[in-house]
Structure 1
Amino acid sequence: MRALSIEPCSLPPACEALRTEVRAFLAEAMAAVPPERRNRNWSGADADFSRRLGERGWIGMTWPRRYGGHERSALERYVVLEELLAAGAPVGAHWVADRQSGPLLMRFAPETLAPRIVPRIARGEVFFCIGMSEPDAGSDLASIRTRAEKKGDGWVINGRKVWTSGAHRAHYMIALVRTGTDRAADRHQGLSQFLVDMRTPGLTVRPILNQLGDHDFNEVTFDEVWLPDECLIGAEGSGWQQVGAELAFERSGPERYLSCTQLLLEMLDQADAADPRQAEALGRVVAQYGTLRQMSLGVAGMLARGDNPALPAALVKDQGALVEQAMPDLAHALFGDHVPPGSTLDKAMRYATLSVPSFSLRGGTREILRGIIAKGLELR
């Protein structure tokens, strides 16, 4: 069995000074945003808000200046994300592009696609979606069937993607498709990634409404979608390795335990300090938040040092989902019989109850993550 160690990470004074700056901005920018909208956390989207963050240099913070970035530290970026999430800011429009699409393009298309597109991401002008999941494939990405075939100086893609968050507002998708054989022995070898302009003919986006009736997810159909050679990201057949690097960014951030922050804040506001049951239960949750924060911050420290955070990131994501998915049940147990209908606590409880089932799906199902963890710890 292999041991897993996440080295503690402390924030330098510059990070705390930045935190003060971000809080001042949010106090002004979020003043008129009601608590029920803050419940959406990082799934809420506002293109104008994203552009305002871009103007302040809070998108693409760690990226090289040649790509429109600001060459700040991973820890400074962590502080900005932490404050945005805690405030329930509507960051969903640019979230995917800032978290993983921009870094992916800079790493695997540094001289072709990145110079043209990444600076626009940093300005908060361009939004991305992720084309991974498919019908009958779920989190088993090696089972995808959407296929790209070489035709002259380009590629023709046919297939379908589902649960594609934000596809209806995205300018681009990074799609994982099959370019090689689909024989079982070669499932991981024949995958490639493509940059897809969402305005491309043959591409159809259909809404999938979630339990809340919100339109976050989509089905995206490729019907003879032609892309030029320059849209191939990295080398043909390297998609599996590239996706592994991309998912490390997706699983490690504070969004993996701060999605229910508004509900926790509402519970703390309503709690009776003289009630030992509430004090113990909420104190336990706050302690769990503190532990997850230290783990997540440790992953940020790994990123700052250039280490590979894939294994601890999977652990943070798995444990964060457990804490957050238990939050609505805790709220109902502590306050359910005396919550005024229509109150901010009531709205937060209702929203969380309907939204938390997805937390163990996004970024990889619990079963997939635990398989990664078990393999990384040499338990199987």
Structure 2
Amino acid sequence: MQASQFTYAPIPAAAEALRNEVRAFLAVEMGRIGPLARADSWMGFDAEFSRKLGEARLIGITMPTVLGGRGLDYFARYVVSEELLAAGAPVSAHWIADRQSAPLLLRYGTEEQKRRYIPGINRGELYFCIGMSEPNAGSDLSAIGSRARREGAGWRLDGRKIWTTNAHRSHYMIALVRTGSPDEGRQGGMSQFVINLAAPGVTVRPIRDLTGGDHFNEVFFDDVVLAEDALIGTEGKGWEQVMAELAIERSGPERFLSSMALLHSLIGVLGASPDALESFHVGRLTARLFALRTMSLAVTAKFAAGEDPAWAASCVKDIGTGLEQELPEIAALIGREQPRVGSGSELAQIQAYLTQLAPSFSLRGGTREILRGILARGLGLR
């Protein structure tokens, strides 16, 4: 039954034509980006790069032209994303806003919200983070406790969020919080809000990872005042809205291209005459990448057709995460030198960095356990 979720979907010629435009941009702008920085790619924050990408109109590909976008389809955005990630471009500053915040606002936001936020996102100047996970909820999004209470013409928000990528560098957060009563059920009574992270009562505390990076953050809301127009979409319909948002988050090429800098460097070291074991592993990795790309493009086709590909997106994310986490291990198995932090060859440093970062790949966008629960339900197994 689920095989039809991944029907082959070739990239249309009109979208494919964008590839040369992106490559021309990268040929100019990537010269200053070193090999180790390229390993960070969609976690690499570079405001200048994002601004230049916005000037080149390579952000907001699917957004309406009246809002500063290009009015193209999901396949066009896929081509742009694929080229940026394959090159190791530092896209983290604008990535979340472009990938899911702007589409969410376009689908559910008011006209005023669209005009206020989307043009700045498309210019690469306005950054958003995601407020979903919470410290006491584990991987169960339906267990969140942050709450916004009606007060006059607005709301008052209390609670906290965790694993909020780039919250310390973002202007706004789109957060899922409770607004209804407990009798509405675990997935009922939730709403989404746009929160100004510079507002009184908002505190952001970075969480450092094994590499010393501070991509993740914990965010505290203490009696934060929200205006009426901070609400996105329909009050109480936040669960349905956030599920649509997560399908976008989980299905893109970033779910299997995070470690491309390592694969490129490894192939460069192995050269034109790898031994039998090296050839086997590189060939197997390449085959898995092509399969994941085909699956991801099938999900893109569903978005383009206006369908809900939540099950298929979860599948791409789960399998893609597995590949990303295995790649550093395979590199260590067949590599000709050991990973090293702060010294050694390009390959040794990239390998060390991604070995430390790889455990986080199965956290962001939904843990493996949650995703496999979704897959089991889709297959009728639970």
Q: Is it true that 1:77 corresponds to 2:109 in the alignment? A: no
Looking at structure 1, the residues matched to 62 and 335 of structure 2 have their Cα atoms a distance apart, in angstroms, of 42
Cα deviations across residues 304-353 of structure 1 (Å, max 9, x unaligned)?
A: 22222211111000000011111111011111556785100001110110
Which stretch shows the higher mean deviation, 316-325 or 108-117? 108-117
Runs of 4+ in 1 over 4 A off after TM superposition: 1-4, 336-341
Q: Is it true that 1:255 corresponds to 2:254 in the alignment? A: yes
Whether the aligned pair in 2 keeps the contact of 1:2 and 1:378 (CA below 8 Å) is no
Looking at structure 2, the residues matched to 347 and 141 of structure 1 have their Cα atoms a distance apart, in angstroms, of 36
Equivalent position of 1:303 in the other structure: 303
The 5-angstrom pairing of residues 135-146 of structure 1 reads 135-146=135-146
Which stretch shows the higher mean deviation, 106-115 or 33-42? 106-115
Equivalent position of 2:121 in the other structure: 121
Flag the 1:336–1:137 CA change in 2: closer, same or farther, 3 A: farther
The 5-angstrom pairing of residues 93-112 of structure 1 reads 93-112=93-112
Q: Is it true that 1:241 corresponds to 2:240 in the alignment? A: yes
Q: What's the secondary structure of 1:215's corresponding residue? A: coil
Looking at structure 2, the residues matched to 284 and 367 of structure 1 have their Cα atoms a distance apart, in angstroms, of 25
How far the C-alpha of 1:274 sits from its partner, in A, is: 4.2
Structure 1: any 5+ residue segments left out of the alignment? Answer: none
Equivalent position of 1:267 in the other structure: 266
Looking at structure 1, the residues matched to 344 and 14 of structure 2 have their Cα atoms a distance apart, in angstroms, of 41
Whether the aligned pair in 1 keeps the contact of 2:194 and 2:230 (CA below 8 Å) is yes
Q: What amino acid maps onto 1:276 in structure 2?
A: A
Which stretch shows the higher mean deviation, 358-367 or 272-281? 272-281
Equivalent position of 1:65 in the other structure: 65
Taking structure 2 as the reference length, what is the TM-score of the superposition?
0.96
The 5-angstrom pairing of residues 209-228 of structure 1 reads 209-228=208-227
Q: What amino acid maps onto 2:46 in structure 1?
A: D
Q: What amino acid maps onto 1:166 in structure 2?
A: N
How far the C-alpha of 1:17 sits from its partner, in A, is: 2.8
How far the C-alpha of 1:138 sits from its partner, in A, is: 2.4
How far the C-alpha of 1:79 sits from its partner, in A, is: 0.6
Which stretch shows the higher mean deviation, 332-341 or 253-262? 332-341
Q: What amino acid maps onto 2:52 in structure 1?
A: R
Alignment identity in percent? 52
Which stretch shows the higher mean deviation, 306-315 or 242-251? 306-315
Q: Is it true that 1:376 corresponds to 2:375 in the alignment? A: no
Looking at structure 1, the residues matched to 86 and 16 of structure 2 have their Cα atoms a distance apart, in angstroms, of 15
Cα deviations across residues 35-73 of structure 1 (Å, max 9, x unaligned)?
A: 000010100011111111111111111112232221112
Whether the aligned pair in 2 keeps the contact of 1:3 and 1:377 (CA below 8 Å) is no
Q: Is it true that 1:51 corresponds to 2:51 in the alignment? A: yes
Structure 2: any 5+ residue segments left out of the alignment? Answer: none
Whether the aligned pair in 2 keeps the contact of 1:45 and 1:92 (CA below 8 Å) is yes
Cα deviations across residues 201-230 of structure 1 (Å, max 9, x unaligned)?
A: 111111111111111111111010001111
How far the C-alpha of 1:163 sits from its partner, in A, is: 1.0
Flag the 1:262–1:159 CA change in 2: closer, same or farther, 3 A: same
Q: What's the secondary structure of 2:195's corresponding residue? A: strand
Q: What amino acid maps onto 2:11 in structure 1?
A: L
Taking structure 1 as the reference length, what is the TM-score of the superposition?
0.96
Equivalent position of 1:173 in the other structure: 173
Looking at structure 2, the residues matched to 2 and 88 of structure 1 have their Cα atoms a distance apart, in angstroms, of 33
Query: Pairwise CA RMSD of aligned residues?
Result: 1.5
Looking at structure 2, the residues matched to 143 and 54 of structure 1 have their Cα atoms a distance apart, in angstroms, of 37
Which stretch shows the higher mean deviation, 84-93 or 2-11? 2-11
The 5-angstrom pairing of residues 157-168 of structure 1 reads 157-168=157-168
How far the C-alpha of 1:125 sits from its partner, in A, is: 1.2
How far the C-alpha of 1:124 sits from its partner, in A, is: 1.0
